[in-house]
Amino acid sequence: MFHRKVRNKQRPATSFMMGVREERFTISQLALRQDEKSNPKKKLINCLRKYCDATTLHGFKYLSEPNRPLYERIYWLVAIIIVYSTVAFIVIDQVEIYLRKPILITFDSKSRSVTEIPFPAVTICSDNQIHSSTINLTEAFDDFQHLSPEMRKRFEYAVYICNFNHPGEEFETFDPQFFHDMLENVFGIETCREQIPILRWSYTPMDTPCRYFQPIVTVQGACLSFNMVPFSYIFRNPTTINWAEKYWTDKIKVWSPDTGYITGGGSYPDAPPWRTAGGNGVRFGFNIEMKDNEELCSRGGKGFSVYVHNPAEMPGPAHALLYLEENRETTVSVSPKFYITDESLKKWSTKERGCYFQNERFLKFFQIYTQHNCEMECKANFTLSICRCAPFYFPSK
pLDDT > 90 fraction of the chain, expressed in percent and rounded? 8
pLDDT of 329 > 50? The answer is yes
Name the band, by pLDDT with cuts 50, 70 and 90, for residue 82. very high
- Cα(124)–Cα(260) distance, integer angstroms: 25
pLDDT surpasses 90 at 101 = no
Q: Model confidence over 154-209: pLDDT tens digits? A: 777 777 777 666 655 555 666 666 766 666 665 555 567 777 888 888 888 888 88
Spatial distance between the Cα atoms of 385 and 349, rounded to a whole number of angstroms: 29
- Write down the pTM of the prediction: 0.70
Q: Is the pLDDT of residue 21 over 50?
A: no
d(CA 171, CA 164): 13
Q: Which of the listed ranges 254-263, 289-298, 378-387 does the model predict with the highest average pLDDT? A: 378-387
User: Residue 9's pLDDT band (boundaries 50, 70, 90)?
Assistant: very low
For range 282-286, the mean pLDDT: 79
Distances (CA, A) of 359 to 59, 231, 354: 57, 19, 15
Across residues 104-113, what is the average pLDDT?
A: 74
3-state secondary structure 330-343: CCCCCCCCCCCCCH
- Looking at residues 356-375, what average pLDDT do you find? 88
Q: Which of 29-33, 209-213, 391-395 is predicted with the least confidence, judged by mean pLDDT?
A: 29-33
Q: Where residue 127 falls among pLDDT bands split at 50, 70, 90?
A: confident
Q: Which pLDDT belongs to residue 312?
A: 92
* pLDDT category of residue 27 using cuts at 50, 70 and 90: low
Chain mean pLDDT for the chain: 76
Q: H helices of 228-335, where?
A: 231-234
Q: Is residue 254's pLDDT more than 70?
A: yes
Cα gap 123→320, rounded to integer Å:
11
Provide the pLDDT for residue 313. 92
**pLDDT at residue 171, as a whole number:** 59
**The pLDDT value given to residue 245:** 53
Q: Alpha helix locations (H) across 187-261?
A: 189-195, 231-234
